[in-house]
Every structure is written in C-alpha cells, then in structure tokens.
C-alpha cells in the first residue's frame, strides 16, 4: 500500500492570499487526485493529476483557482489561490496504486488531509 504525507497539516490564512499544499508518496504512482471536503460535507474531486500532462479539472473547479503541479511520479502540489472564507475546507490528496501484480483493480489511498481555515 502507498503511504502518503501532506504538508502542511493545517493552516490559517488571510483572505486574498494563496496556499500551496504538498503531497508526497512513498512509491511511484500514475494517478493522483485532489479532493475537497468542506465542513461537515462529503469529499468532492477537484482534479486528477497525471505526471507529464495537464491536470483534468472537474466541473466547478478551474486551473486559475486551483493550479496543480505534478513534476514526478511521487509528488504533487495543489495551490488554493486568492483565498476566501468559502475555501475553508480539508484538502485531501489521493493516489491510485496497483493492488497486486495479478489484479486489475487499483486501490486508492488517501493522505491525512490539510485543514485550511481562511479568515
């Protein structure tokens, strides 16, 4: 299984500023995902990040607001730009890893999340 770390674990930011969240995986993975979990809500996919290509954003999320980098197979960043209080959420990184050599199923593992509060 993949072990995922995120930095920072939490932050309190001022309105109008930007925050970059890092996601580090202990093994090479093809697909990485960024999710948002607003207070008391479920998880919503922001974008899928594959190494060497542009991130694919879900409806309602745009690159200017949530730029993503994926420089290699073990690392990705998500930036929350020009923040407002509505961006206060937990942001989770997820990766897809091969469950086993004989398995066609790729399990998804989640990082511990970054709790962002925007004042």
Partner 1 sequence: AQTVTQSQPEMSVQEAETVTLSCTYDTSESDYYLFWYKQPPSRQMILVIRQEAYKQQNATENRFSVNFQKAAKYFSLKISDSQLGDAAMYFCAYRRSTGTASKLTFGTGTRLQVTL
Footprint of partner 1 (CB under 8 A): 31, 33, 41-45, 48, 58, 90, 92, 94, 96, 105-110, 112-113, 115
Residue 35: Cβ within 10 Å count: 21
| Six token digits for residue 11 | 């932050």
When the beta carbons of 16 and 107 are compared against partner 1, the nearer one is 107
Taking the complex as a whole, the smallest distance from the CB of residue 70 to partner 1 amounts, in Å, to 15
Taking the complex as a whole, the smallest distance from the CB of residue 7 to partner 1 amounts, in Å, to 14
When the beta carbons of 26 and 107 are compared against partner 1, the nearer one is 107
Rg (CA), the chain: 14
List of residues 6+ apart from 61 with CB closer than 8 A: 46, 47
Taking the complex as a whole, the smallest distance from the CB of residue 48 to partner 1 amounts, in Å, to 7
Instruction: Find out whether 30 and 73 touch, Cβ atoms under 8 Å.
Output: yes
Taking the complex as a whole, the smallest distance from the CB of residue 16 to partner 1 amounts, in Å, to 26
When the beta carbons of 65 and 115 are compared against partner 1, the nearer one is 115
CA angle 92, 96, 101 (to 5 degrees): 155
């Amino acid at each position: 299984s993949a072990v995922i770390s995120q930095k920072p674990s939490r932050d309190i930011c001022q309105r109008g500023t930007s925050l970059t969240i890092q996601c580090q995986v202990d093994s090479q993975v093809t697909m990485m995902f960024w999710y948002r979990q607003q207070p008391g809500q479920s998880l919503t996919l922001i974008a899928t990040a594959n190494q060497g290509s542009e991130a694919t954003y879900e409806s309602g999320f745009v690159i200017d607001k949530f730029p993503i980098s994926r420089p290699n197979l073990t690392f990705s960043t998500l930036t929350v730009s020009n923040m407002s209080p509505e961006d206060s959420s937990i942001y989770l990184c997820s990766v897809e890893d091969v469950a086993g050599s004989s398995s066609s199923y790729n399990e998804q593992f989640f990082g511990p999340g970054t709790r962002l509060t925007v004042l």
